[in-house]
Amino acid sequence: MSYIAIDNLSLSFGDNKVLKDISLTIEKGELVTLLGPSGCGKSTLLRVFAGLEVFQEGQVFLDGEEISNVPSKNRNVGMVFQSYALFPNMTVYENIAFGLTIKKFSKSEIKQKVIAALQLVNLEDKADFYPDQLSGGQQQRVSLARSLVTEPKVLLLDEPLSALDAKIRKQLQIDIRDLQKKLGITMIFVTHDQEEAMILSDRVFVMSEGNIVQQASPAELYAQPKNNFVASFIGNYNIILADELKQLDRTFSPKSGSNKYAIRSETIHLEPIKGENVLHFQGILKEYTVLGSTIRCYFNAGAINLTVDLLNSEINIGELEGTSELYINKENIIAIDE
């Protein structure tokens, strides 16, 4: 049996069904992400696992034991909140020591563990500070230390980096991943940021309207989106119908049963591609945006709008005015569900 298992779980708030027959498994030491737009049920699923929401149907297992009816205080899970949820009346030291005090560790053990936790998050010199004397990033580090110090079986992180600015967020992403690898702890991370999910995760569960629509490794998810929703949520995919592709190049023959196709923006080229398995057509550049190392170009190919990402170092945007020849390797045209 997997380390974590959720079987056919459903949850409603009144008439609103928030989680619909969800099943998933997570192995020990994995870092998985629940990814999806606001209101898709990802935080609710995490809170169900923490014992903070009551569900109507299904079962939840942790380390071989059913915990569906175990109160959150007895689940031995850690949780990091988006709002940090640090206790304002306690210093950083007291915040981290809180869980150990409740579990009745001796004073010397508490001191030793708290200091180790502080060193883990590089906040040794902030032990006597109060939460409101720390920056957002520092507060989230304290929250992380407080959750880890009790050595939980699994650490749940509910959009922990959403309230931080971009630079600190990126640093903490790296720190969290390093910590997870160093401690070998199982983590479930909730985010609506696909880039964050890609950086952090071993596996990503993409959620939409209370369902898990796809679960895969970041690379697999990016290369093989299962449907329209995943393709548009994960990357800059061009979603094109079979008939439209045929209009672009008569040599295109649709796969049986597939009417919708996804093409990643970086797989459309301006230079000819060797081989016969290539779709070739013309497009007119309408607009472009410089994104740093890449330039995002918006082409019109007949009635079809296409987004194309080109390497900034390899093209001179001035030469693209007017009509351009566009090439796509047919292997990069992915059939997706409706």
Partner 1 sequence: MKTKKKNYSSYAILTIFSLYMIFPFVSTTLYAMSTDWSKTILPTDFTFQWFVELIQDPNFNSAVLRSITLTLTTLAVVLVVMVPTVFLVYMYFPKVDSFMKGLVLMPYAIPGVILATGLLRMYSGSSIPMYAVLVGGLFIGSLPFMYQGVRNSLESIQTKSLIEAAEILGANKLTAFIRIILPNIKLGLLITTLLIFSSFFGEFVLTNLLIGGRYETIRIYMLRRMNENGHLASAVMVSYFILLILISLIITYLTSSKRKEKMKRKAKKVTLKNKEDMTITPQ
Among 72, 236, 258, 329, binds partner 1 (CB under 8 A): 72
Among 34-42, 108-116, 168-176, 276-284, the segment contacting partner 1 (CB under 8 A)? 108-116
Among 13, 14, 64, 88, binds partner 1 (CB under 8 A): 88
Does the protein bind partner 1 through residue 115 (CB under 8 A)? yes
Q: Strand pairing partners for 31?
A: 187
**Given the complex with partner 1, which of 49 and 281 has the nearer CB atom?**
49
Backbone phi, psi, residue 24, to 5°: -160, 160
Does the protein bind partner 1 through residue 195 (CB under 8 A)? no
Say if residues 46 and 52 touch (Cβ distance below 8 Å).
Answer: no
Shortest gap between Cβ of 75 and partner 1 (angstroms)? 8
Among 6-14, 16-24, 121-129, 293-301, the segment contacting partner 1 (CB under 8 A)? 121-129
- Rounded CA-CA distance 59/23 in Å is 9
**Contact map string, positions 148 to 187, toward partner 1, x by CB under 8 A:** --x-------------------------------------
Q: Strand pairing partners for 337?
A: 227
What 3-state class would DSSP assign to 47?
A: helix
- Note the residue count of the chain: 338
Does the protein bind partner 1 through residue 118 (CB under 8 A)? yes
Among 3, 129, 288, 298, binds partner 1 (CB under 8 A): 129
HEC letters along 81-124: CCCCCCCCCCCHHHHHHHHHHHCCCCHHHHHHHHHHHHHHCCCH
Q: Which helix (H) or strand (E) holds 166?
A: helix 166-183
- Rounded CA-CA distance 268/254 in Å is 18
Binding footprint of partner 1 on the chain (CB under 8 A)? 50-52, 71-75, 77-79, 81, 83, 85-89, 91, 98-99, 102-103, 111-113, 115-116, 118-119, 124-130, 132-133, 146-147, 150
